[in-house]
Amino acid sequence: MGLKSEITDKVKEILDTNFQIEDVTYVPEITDSKLTFLNKGLKFEATVLYIDLRDSTKILNKHNKSTIAKIHKAYLHTTVRITKSLGGEVRSFNGDSVLAFFQGTSKYTLSNAVEAAMKIRYMIANSESGINTLLAKYSAVDFGIGIDDGHILCVKVGVGGDANTKDLIWIGNPVNKSVVISDECKASYYIGISNYVYGNLNDNVKFATKKNPWGQDEKVNMWTSYQVLYNGQYETFYKTNYYWEVE
C-alpha cells in the first residue's frame, strides 16, 4: 500500500467513526490508558492558565543560544513551581508559552489559578523577588497571562509506536479564550481574566485594602474591566497590575 492510500484510508476511518467522550475529574496526561489514537477524548472541567513571553524574537537576536536557553529555563521553572504549589497541572510547553490547568470549577480552584498568576507576576517582574534582577542582566522579560474556566476536551494525537510523534491537544473555548486574553496583557497589567472567572473569585484575589485620605482602611477592586473582540462580538474581560508576594 502506498503512502497516499495509507493516509487516505486512515483519514476516512477517523472521519467515519463515531467520537466517544468520557467525563473525568482529573487533568489527563500522555500516559493515560484511556487515551488512545482511536476516536476517543476525555472531557474535564478546569480553570485554564496560559502564559506567554513577549518579544522572543528580540531576545533571540540579542543573545547567543545558550543564554536564551538559560532565560527560558529560569522562566519555565518559576512558572511550573508556582503552578504546582497551588494545585495546578502543567501540560504543555510551546516555545515561549505554558498551558496549565486547575481541575474543578469551584471558587477555590478559580482563585488558586489567579493567585498563581499573581505570584508568577511577582517572581518574574518585581525587583524584590530575586529572580527579576538575575534575569534583568540579560533581558527584561515581558509577558501576558490569560485565565478562563470551563470544559476542555483532551485528545491524543500522532502516530503510535513512536514517542516523538505523540502529543495531547486541548480543545475548548477556555483554552482559546485564555490565549486571547493573554495577548491583551503586558507590563504592567500582566494578568487578565474572563468575566466568568471575575464573577466567581474569592475576595482575597479580587479586592485589596488601602488607606484612604483619612487613614481608614478601604476595600478597592484590584481589577479593571476592558472590552475585547472575541468570536465576532465584544466581551468584558478584566486585568490587573496587582501581584502576590512569594515567601
* One-letter amino acid of 39: N
DSSP bridge partners of 169: 155
Helical packing angle, 65-85 and 107-125, nearest 10°: 150
Question: Prior bond to 225 cis, omega within 30?
Answer: no
Q: Using CA atoms, how far apart are residues 205 and 194, in angstroms rounded to an integer?
A: 14
The pLDDT score that the predictor gives to residue 56 is: 60
The pLDDT score that the predictor gives to residue 64 is: 67
The pLDDT score that the predictor gives to residue 131 is: 81
pLDDT by residue for the chain (247 residues), tens only, comes to: 689 998 899 899 889 999 999 999 999 999 999 998 889 999 999 999 999 987 665 665 566 678 778 877 888 899 999 999 999 999 988 777 899 999 998 999 999 999 999 999 999 888 887 787 777 776 667 799 999 999 999 999 987 667 677 899 999 999 999 999 999 998 889 999 999 999 999 999 999 988 788 878 889 999 999 998 888 999 999 999 999 999 8
The pLDDT score that the predictor gives to residue 44 is: 97
The pLDDT score that the predictor gives to residue 171 is: 96
The pLDDT score that the predictor gives to residue 166 is: 85
Phi-psi region of 122 (alpha: psi -120 to 50; beta: other; left: phi over 0): alpha
